[in-house]
């Protein structure tokens, strides 16, 4: 009974905030007939940000502040690079990279960091991604710092196979294997 109640309330909470982000914890507590603490626990479990963050996110979107995906060549900061061997980049996430109604970072930002690190690793004027197999292992919350490590596994002429693993502290959040091609035999970057 009680686990049903909790699950129902949490689902209701997600839907309610998705439909209207302007509720305070106080109002939510009254709506669901529980204490403020319970609402805060729920938000914590569900990764739902506080009122001010939700409002800010809506406003930032309206203002076009949200980065769809940054336009610089490298997403994140390159802190180490060994051309055709290995490299590390760091990406500090922020609320603009999360979903509107939760503080979980959207996957394509994590992908973008990994992909651009892989591309940067290749010792060629132009490298393009041919294909990739990726896996998201753990959610990343906005504000967390993602460290991506990349290793070149194989070099075959114009083709490179690169493995990227991304971490938040000790927790692995992403892994991917990218197949890149250099120069003219373009597929995509």
Q: Which residues bind its own copies (CB under 8 A)?
A: 10-11, 14-15, 18, 20-22, 46-47, 52, 55-56, 58-63, 65-66, 68-73, 75, 96-97, 99-102, 104-112, 115-116, 125-126, 128-140, 173-174, 183-184, 186-189
Residue of the chain from 19, 44, 71, 170 that contacts DNA (CB under 7 A): 44
CB of 37 to its own copies, least distance (A): 20
Binding mask 46-65 for DNA (x = CB under 7 A): ---xxxx-------------
Q: Any contact of residue 3 with DNA (CB under 7 A)?
A: yes
Task: Tell me how far, at minimum, the Cβ of 175 lies from DNA, in Å.
Answer: 26
- How would you class 37 by CB atoms within 10 Å of its CB: exposed for 0-12, middle for 13-18, buried for 19 or more? exposed
Site residue total, DNA (CB under 7 A): 21
Q: Which residues contact 125 (CB under 8 A, 6 or more apart)?
A: 183
Q: Which two tokens stand for residue 80?
A: 């180490």
Q: Say if CB 130 and CB 62 are below 8 A apart.
A: no
In angstroms, rounded to a whole number, what is the distance separating the alpha carbons of residues 21 and 33? 19
Per CB under 7 A, does 125 bind DNA? no
Antiparallel, parallel or unpaired: β 127-136 and 159-168:
unpaired
Among 14, 16, 31, 40, which residue sits at the site for DNA (rule: CB under 7 A)?
Answer: 40
Percent of the chain that is helix, strand, coil (3-state, to 5): 35, 30, 30
Q: Do 149 and 173 form a contact (C-beta atoms < 8 A)?
A: no
Q: Answer yes or no whether residue 41 interacts with DNA by CB under 7 A.
A: yes
The residue ranges that bind DNA (CB under 7 A) are: 1-3, 5-6, 9, 24-26, 34-35, 37-38, 40-41, 43-44, 49-52
């Amino acid at each position: 009974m009680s686990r049903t109640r909790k699950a129902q309330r949490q689902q209701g909470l997600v839907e309610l905030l998705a439909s209207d982000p302007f509720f305070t914890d106080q109002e939510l507590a009254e709506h669901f007939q529980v204490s403020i603490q319970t609402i805060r626990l729920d938000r914590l479990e569900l990764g739902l940000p506080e009122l001010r963050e939700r409002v800010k996110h809506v406003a930032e979107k309206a203002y076009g502040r949200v980065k769809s995906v940054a336009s610089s060549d490298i997403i994140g900061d390159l802190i180490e690079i060994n051309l055709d061997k290995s490299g590390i980049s760091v990406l500090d996430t922020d609320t603009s990279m999360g979903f509107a109604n939760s503080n979980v970072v959207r996957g394509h930002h994590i992908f973008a960091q990994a992909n651009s690190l892989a591309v940067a690793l290749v010792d060629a004027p132009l490298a393009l991604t041919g294909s990739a197999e990726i896996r998201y292992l753990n959610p990343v919350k906005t504000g967390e710092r993602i460290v991506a490590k990349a290793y070149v596994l194989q070099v075959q002429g114009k083709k490179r196979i690169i493995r990227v693993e991304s971490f938040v502290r000790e927790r692995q959040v992403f892994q991917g294997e990218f197949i890149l091609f250099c120069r003219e035999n373009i597929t995509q970057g």
